[in-house]
């Protein structure tokens, strides 16, 4: 009986894992951009006095998501 290693080489499996990981991080990056857009729309609609902290958290989240994606792109 043939093992998985003989059918698909190990390097190909790890390459597919890396690609799927990067695609997942790219989807998360799109999610972070949507969060920034939604926060912008929310703060322009509602004026409750906490706009600056909420916008700051959304932008920090976006920059961290970009950083994690670039780090993964460089290391994987």
Whether residue 64 is contained in a domain is answered as yes
pLDDT in tens, 32-76: 999 999 999 999 998 888 999 999 999 999 999 999 999 999 998
Whether residue 46 is contained in a domain is answered as yes
Report residue 49: phi and psi, to 5°: 95, 0
Report d(CA 6, CA 18) in Å as an integer.
20
Whether residue 41 is contained in a domain is answered as yes
CA distances from residue 28 to 5, 32, 37, 48 in whole angstroms, order as listed: 31, 6, 14, 29
User: Which residues constitute the domain of residue 39?
Assistant: 28-76
Whether residue 36 is contained in a domain is answered as yes
Identify the CA nearest to 62 among candidates 22, 38, 29.
29
Whether residue 14 is contained in a domain is answered as no
pTM of the entire structure?
0.84
CA distances from residue 65 to 4, 5, 57 in whole angstroms, order as listed: 35, 34, 12
pLDDT range class, residue 26, cuts 50, 70, 90: very high
Whether residue 19 is contained in a domain is answered as no
As a whole-number percent, the residues of the chain with pLDDT over 90 amount to: 75
């Amino acid at each position: 009986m043939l093992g998985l290693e003989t059918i698909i080489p190990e390097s190909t499996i790890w390459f597919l894992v890396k690609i799927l990981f990067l695609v997942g991080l790219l989807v998360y990056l799109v999610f972070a951009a949507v969060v920034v857009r939604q926060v912008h729309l929310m703060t322009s609609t509602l004026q409750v006095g906490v706009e600056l902290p909420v916008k700051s958290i959304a932008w920090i989240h976006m920059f961290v998501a970009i950083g994690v994606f670039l780090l993964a792109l460089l290391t994987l």
